[in-house]
Structure 1
Amino acid sequence: MSKTPAVRKLVTCSVIAALLCLGACGIPTSGVPGSVAPATPPTATLNPDAAAVLGHALIHAASVNDTAEVGRLLEAGAPVDYRGEDARTALLAATRANAIEAARELMEHGANVNAKDELRDSAFLYAGAAGLTEILVLTLEHGADLRATNRNGNTALIPACEHGYAETVEILIDNDIDVNHVNDRGLTCLLEAVTQGDGSQPYQEVVAMLIDDEAGLGIKDPQGLTALDHARRLKQSSVVQLLESAGSPSQATTTGSTTTGP
C-alpha cells in the first residue's frame, strides 16, 4: 500500500532530521553558540552519504509523480541530477513514468534534460521515442539537444516516426530537428516510417510532414532501396501515392536503368 501524503512528509522530515543530527549535510551555522543554520539549500556541502539518501528518495518521488515530495526533497538539498540505478536521474524516472508534474518541477529546478542513463536515453530522447508530448515540449523549453542520439544512433525523431506518433513528429519538426539523420541501421526517419509502419493514417501523416520538411526522398537503405521502393513492396498504396506525388525516386530511377522501346 502506498504511503499517504502525511506519512511521506513525516518520512522525509525524519530522514532530513537524522542527516542534520549526524552532521551529514554539513550546513554551517553562524558561528555563534546556540545559533541555527541559515535557511539556505545545503546542496553545496552535501556529503556523499546524504546525497545518496536524498537522491534515491527524489528518484522514487519523481517516479510516482509526488510533486510535493519532490519539492520538499529539493528544498532539503537533494541533488537534482543524482544518478541512481542504471545511472538514471529523477527526471528520467519521471519521464519513463510519464509523471508530467514531477518532471516539470524537476526541470524548473534545473534538472538536465540531456543527461543520459546507461542505455543512452535522456529525458528528451525517451519522451520523443515514447510519444510523451507534454514532457517532450517541456524538455525543448529547457534546452533539449536536438542532435542527441540514443544507443541505436536514433534522434528523438526517428522512433517517433517508426511508431507513427504524428503529434510528436510535428513538434520535433517544428523545432527544426534534422529529418535526414541516418541511424546505426543506415535508415532515416522516412525509411523507418515506411519499413516499420503499416501505411495507416498516422503513418501517412508522418510521411506527409517529412515530405513537407524536405526529407531526402532518394536516400537509400543499406540494401539500396528508397522509401518508395519499400512502400511499393509493402503495398502501402496511400504512402506510395504521397511519395510519387512528391517526385520520390525508386531504385530503378536512382540506379540509372532505362526502359527500351520495341
Structure 2
Amino acid sequence: MDITTAVYNAARDGKLKLIQKLLSNKSPEELESLAEEKTQGGTPLLIASRYGHLEVVDYLIAHCKANVELGGSVNFDGETIEGAPPLWAASAAGHLPVVKTLLKHGASVNNATLTNSTPLRAACFDGHLEIVRYLVEHRADMEVANRHGHTCLMISCYKGHKEIAKFLLDKGADVNRKSVKGNTALHDCAESGSLDIMKMLLKCNARMERDGYGMTPLLAASVTGHTNIVEYLAHQPRTSREERIDALELLGATFVDKKRDLLGAMKYWRRAMELRQPGDKASSLAKPPPGPPISAYSCAQEVNTAEELEALITDPDEMRMQALLVRERILGPSHPDTSYYIRYRGAVYADSVP
C-alpha cells in the first residue's frame, strides 16, 4: 500500500497517530502534495470531514496546509457525490464541530458540488438543524438552487423537516420559488405528505400554482396518495368544485393502482360523483364528452352515473381500466404517471396470457 492510500485510510478511520507517523520527516512541500492527492476520488481532508474526525481535520489543515476548498468524490447512502468540498461533506453528515473548524480556516460557505448542491442544502436534506442555523448565521445563501432548481426550502419540505422549514421561512426564504420543472415547495409538501409544513407555507402566502405538467399541489397529493393533504386542500376556500372533483377522482385511481385498495377507491369515486351530481340537475357537473374508443383500453368508457359506478365493484379489471381513463383525462397523456400505468397494466395483462 502506497503512502497516499495509507494516509487516506487513516483519515477515514480517524487514526491521527498513524497519520502523524506516516507523515513524519516529510518536507512541507511533500506534506502539501500528499494532502492534495486523491484516493477513490477524495482527499484525506474530505474523507476525515465526511466521518467527523475533528482532530484529523485540524491536523491536516494546520500541519499539512490541506486545501479546505478542494472537492472530490464522497459516498453517502450508496450514492457517489462528485465535486463535494469538505464543508459539504461535514454538513451532509451532521458534524457541526468540523463545520465550524472548516469555516474558521476559510472554507467558502457556498462552495457547491458539481450538481450545485451547497453545504446548506446538504444539511437541509438530512435534517441537521443546528448546522443549518450555523451556516445561515455565517452567510450561507438560502436561495442557491441545485441543477434541478430545487432550493433549501424545497428539499426541507420534501424530506419533512418541519423545524428547518420553519427556520428558513423565518429567515425569509422564497416560498414561491419554482424549480426547473415548475414545482414549488407546496408541491414538495404534497408529494411527501408534510401537512404541518404545508400549513406553514400557506400562512406565508404560498401560491397554489401549476408545475410544468399542469399539476397543482392538490393533484400532486392525489397522485402520491396523501389523503391528509388532499382532504386539507380540498376544503380550502380557494379550491374550486372542479378541482375537488378532479382530486378525488385521481385519488381513487391512485388507490386502485398504487395502494391496491379497490374499496378505498370506490369511496373517493363516490364522493366525486356526489359532487358532480348533488341532486339538483341544474347544478350537475358532467364529465367531458368521451373521445373515440381506444382499443388499448378495450374500448372502455368512463362511468357517468352513480349506478354505473356501483356496478364497477363486481369487476376489478374494469376498475383498473377506469383508473387508467381517469388518470389520462386529468393528468393528460404526457404525464409520466399516465404512461407508466398504461405500460404497467399492459405488462400485467401480457403476463396473464397463457
> For residues 156 and 137 of structure 1, what CA distance do their matches in structure 2 show?
12
* Structure 2, unaligned runs of 5 or more: 1-9, 74-81, 244-280, 285-354
**CA apart distance, 1:149:** 0.5
Name the % identity.
25
- 261 and 61 in structure 1: CA distance in 2 versus 1, 3 angstrom threshold: closer
2:27 matched to 1:19?
yes
* SS of equivalent to 1:87: strand
Say which one has the larger Rg: 2
Q: Deviations over 1:201-251 (max 9, x none)?
A: xx111111111111113x112343422344456664443454356533348
Equivalent residue, structure 2, for 1:133: 129
Amino acid at match of 1:211: L
**Alignment: residue pair count:** 226
Equivalent residue, structure 1, for 2:196: 205
Say which of 170, 187, 206 aligns to 1:215.
Answer: 206
Say which of 178, 184, 198 aligns to 2:180.
Answer: 184
Equivalent residue, structure 2, for 1:69: 56
2:239 matched to 1:249?
yes
Q: Which has the higher contact order (CA 8 A, sep 6+)?
A: 1
Q: Deviations over 1:15-62 (max 9, x none)?
A: xx4132xx558xxxxxxxxxxxxxxxxxxxx7xx36625992221221
* SS of equivalent to 2:174: coil
> For residues 231 and 81 of structure 1, what CA distance do their matches in structure 2 show?
40
Equivalent residue, structure 1, for 2:67: 79
**CA apart distance, 1:71:** 1.5
> For residues 130 and 195 of structure 2, what CA distance do their matches in structure 1 show?
23
> For residues 73 and 164 of structure 1, what CA distance do their matches in structure 2 show?
36
Cα contact 2:36–2:43 (8 A) shared by 1: yes
2:117 matched to 1:111?
no
> For residues 47 and 116 of structure 2, what CA distance do their matches in structure 1 show?
20
Say which of 155, 161, 173 aligns to 1:159.
Answer: 155
> For residues 240 and 198 of structure 2, what CA distance do their matches in structure 1 show?
16
TM-score in terms of structure 1 length = 0.73
Equivalent residue, structure 1, for 2:18: 7
Amino acid at match of 1:191: H
Cα contact 1:87–1:117 (8 A) shared by 2: yes
Cα contact 2:153–2:173 (8 A) shared by 1: yes
**CA apart distance, 1:179:** 0.9
Cα contact 2:61–2:67 (8 A) shared by 1: yes
Amino acid at match of 1:170: K
Amino acid at match of 2:36: A
TM-score in terms of structure 2 length = 0.56
- 123 and 233 in structure 1: CA distance in 2 versus 1, 3 angstrom threshold: closer
Equivalent residue, structure 1, for 2:36: 52
2:222 matched to 1:226?
no
Equivalent residue, structure 1, for 2:94: 98
Q: Which has the higher helix share?
A: 2
> For residues 172 and 49 of structure 2, what CA distance do their matches in structure 1 show?
30
> For residues 95 and 87 of structure 1, what CA distance do their matches in structure 2 show?
14
* Structure 1, unaligned runs of 5 or more: 26-45, 254-258
Cα contact 2:92–2:125 (8 A) shared by 1: no
Cα contact 1:231–1:237 (8 A) shared by 2: yes
Please give the root-mean-square deviation of Cα atoms over the aligned residues, in Å: 3.1
* SS of equivalent to 1:247: coil
